[in-house]
C-alpha cells in the first residue's frame, strides 16, 4: 500500500513538473524575443555613427536688405513718430500740465477742512 501511494505521488509530481516546464519554455522564448529588440544594461544600444564629411550648416542667405524690408522699416518709423506726436499732444491737456488736477481727469472739489474726504486716486484729502 505504501508503495502504491509513493508511486502515485511521484506520478503527480512528474505531471506537474512537465506542465510547468512547458509554460516556462513559452515564457522564456517570449522574453528572449523582447530582449533581442530592447537594450539591456548588459548589452546597451549604441547608435552607429557614420564617419564622413559633415554637412555645412552656415549657408549664405540673401545678399542683404531688400527694398521691401526697407519700405517696411520706414513705415514702422512713420508710425512710431505719429504715436510720439499724439502722446505729446495729449500731454498738453490741463489734466497733465496743470498741478491742480494731480492725476484726476477733472480737478477735485475743494471742501472745507471738516468735510474733506480721502481720495483714492491721488491719496490726498481734498
Q: Is residue 47 part of a domain?
A: no
Q: Which of 23-32, 61-70, 81-90 has the highest mean pLDDT?
A: 81-90
Q: Is residue 69 part of a domain?
A: no
Grid cell digits, residue 96:
497733465
For the chain, the domain total comes to 1
Q: Is residue 1 part of a domain?
A: no
Grid cell digits, residue 77:
518709423
Grid cell digits, residue 84:
510720439
Return the H-helix or E-strand segment holding 69. helix 67-91
| Rounded-to-integer distance, Cα 28 and Cα 77, Å | 74
Radius of gyration from C-alpha coordinates of the chain = 45
Range of the domain at 113: 88-126
Residue 24 scores a pLDDT above 70: no
What pLDDT, on the 0 to 100 scale, is given for residue 75?
96
Q: Is residue 17 part of a domain?
A: no
Q: Is residue 121 part of a domain?
A: yes
Average pLDDT over every residue of 111-116? 91
| Rounded-to-integer distance, Cα 74 and Cα 76, Å | 5
What pLDDT, on the 0 to 100 scale, is given for residue 27?
60
Average pLDDT, the chain: 78
Give 125's strand partners.
118
Amino acid at each position: 500500500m505504501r508503495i502504491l501511494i509513493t508511486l502515485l505521488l511521484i506520478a503527480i509530481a512528474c505531471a506537474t513538473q512537465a506542465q510547468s516546464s512547458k509554460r516556462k519554455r513559452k515564457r522564456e522564448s517570449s522574453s528572449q524575443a523582447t530582449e533581442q529588440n530592447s537594450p539591456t544594461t548588459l548589452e546597451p544600444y549604441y547608435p552607429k555613427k557614420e564617419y564622413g564629411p559633415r554637412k555645412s550648416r552656415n549657408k549664405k542667405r540673401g545678399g542683404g536688405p531688400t527694398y521691401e524690408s526697407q519700405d517696411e522699416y520706414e513705415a514702422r518709423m512713420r508710425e512710431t513718430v505719429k504715436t510720439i506726436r499724439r502722446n505729446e499732444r495729449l500731454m498738453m491737456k490741463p489734466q497733465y500740465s496743470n498741478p491742480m488736477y494731480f492725476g484726476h481727469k477733472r480737478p477735485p472739489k475743494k471742501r472745507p477742512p471738516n468735510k474733506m474726504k480721502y481720495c483714492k486716486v491721488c491719496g490726498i484729502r481734498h
